[in-house]
Amino acid sequence: MSIKVSSLFPLPPAEITKKLENYLNILDKAVPLRSKHKTELPYAIRDLSKALTGERSSLPKDYMGDPRSLNAYLRYFLPWNLYRLSRLFQGLDINLPDNGIIIDLGAGPLTVAQALWIARPDLREKKLTFINVDRSPKPMREGAKLFEALASKSPWRMVNVKGGPSSKIRERANLLVTANMVNEAASGMKAPLPVWSAKFCQHISRMLAPEGKMLIIEPGIRRSGRTLSVMRNEFIEKGYSILAPCPHEEECPMTAEHGKPWCHFNFDSNHSPVWLQKLSARCRLEKDNVSLSFLYVGQPGTPSPVPHEGEMLIRAITDSFRIDDGGYGQYACGAEGLLLLLAKGGARSIFPGGLLGMPIQTEMEEDLKSGAMIVELPTREKHKLPREDAPREERKTPRKIK
């Protein structure tokens, strides 16, 4: 038995690692801190972290208009988001034409534009226009300074628009992106989630060009997973194509509803900038890994992943964990529902986000604990997977598979 694996969050090559490591110099050049702000920075970061991870409905919508919060965001949350998004942008099939339009709703300090420039050298010479939309102009102005310092003489054009997700934009997007915006927009809603989702999805889909795509990126928390699952249903009902991470358009087995798991991906922070790891330690906010949830959607008729004849497509979701009888297990998603991948003997588990194409399993047993159908991975001798897909034993949490 042989399988095909493609990575969703590939390890950053040397060029991308270097640019992320050099980003501290970009910050110092474009948005330098005064001495008193440097001293206070760890406390400001901790305070903002507490506010962002608490009840979002109580968070002021213009919190980044406050200089203390903005400094904390630019120095800590922005670099971590650049690392998360650059890993995702490397693995996604993002093709943009010359003179393409990107609409970024909830743009903040132009995180999407900066991450895309860092992660995708193949797009840097194209003439692209970014229409950045945010309620607070100040973060966008600071982001414009950072982008200029990061990508001087770039052909990319930045157009900043003060507004919210319901703003009317004349241009139509080849790519519409929302990053860390939907959870804020949905947190204070009065309408039931399906009603809010239907209205929101309808609005943003109207902003697309005929072959445009939407990329919705959120924190990897249960609330975000639930919201994205409902939005996924809405898009499927309206005929839109789900391009990623779902390898199918059947019922979602990870809805975050009634105790069910939710679709989110964790990948390690070992390849994040050293200076950012040190700053995190100073703030007592160390990270072993980072996580995100996302949904990549195309206009009706856009080709989406389909298995070849006799093949099943599987998306590895969780990191791997030890099982009692040796080897590793990890949860995954496929048209068959929730799956449990087992890597025994010489088999190797898959890096979270990996997309597997393997022969259809005619008989699959059910895991008594989770209800997932069990799929055994081939041994290492029969199929060599990339180095980064090796299980990392130091981070495994033993779980019992009955």
pLDDT of residue 3: 65
> What are the two backbone dihedrals, phi and then psi, of residue 373, each rounded to the nearest 5 degrees?
-80, 135
Residue 211's CB is within 10 A of a number of other CB atoms, namely 12
pLDDT of residue 393: 33
The gap between the terminal CA atoms of the chain, to the nearest Å, is 25
pLDDT of residue 188: 67
pLDDT of residue 166: 81
- Let me know the angle formed at the C-alpha of 131 by 125 and 134, rounded to the nearest 5 degrees: 135
pLDDT of residue 379: 67
Residues with Cβ within 8 Å of residue 401, at least 6 apart in sequence: 323, 324, 325, 329, 340, 342, 367, 369
CATH classification of 10-298, choosing from 1.10.10.10, 3.40.50.150, 3.40.50.980, 3.30.540.10? 3.40.50.150
Sequence ranges of the chain with CATH classification 3.40.50.150:
10-298
Q: Please, which contacts does 199-206 make with residues 24 or more away whose CB atoms are closer than 8 Å?
A: 200/165, 200/231, 201/231, 201/234, 201/235, 201/238, 202/238, 203/165, 203/166, 204/105, 204/165, 204/176, 204/178, 205/235, 205/238, 205/240
pLDDT of residue 55: 56
pLDDT per position in the chain (402 positions), as tens?
456 778 899 999 999 999 999 999 999 999 999 887 888 999 999 999 988 876 555 566 667 778 888 999 999 999 999 999 999 999 999 999 999 999 999 999 999 999 999 999 999 999 999 999 999 999 999 999 999 999 999 999 999 999 988 888 999 999 999 999 887 776 667 789 999 999 999 999 999 999 999 999 999 999 999 999 999 999 999 999 999 999 999 999 999 998 889 999 998 898 999 999 999 999 999 998 999 999 999 999 999 988 888 899 999 999 989 888 778 999 999 999 999 999 887 677 888 999 999 898 888 899 888 899 999 988 654 444 444 443 333 333 333 333
Rg (CA), the chain: 21
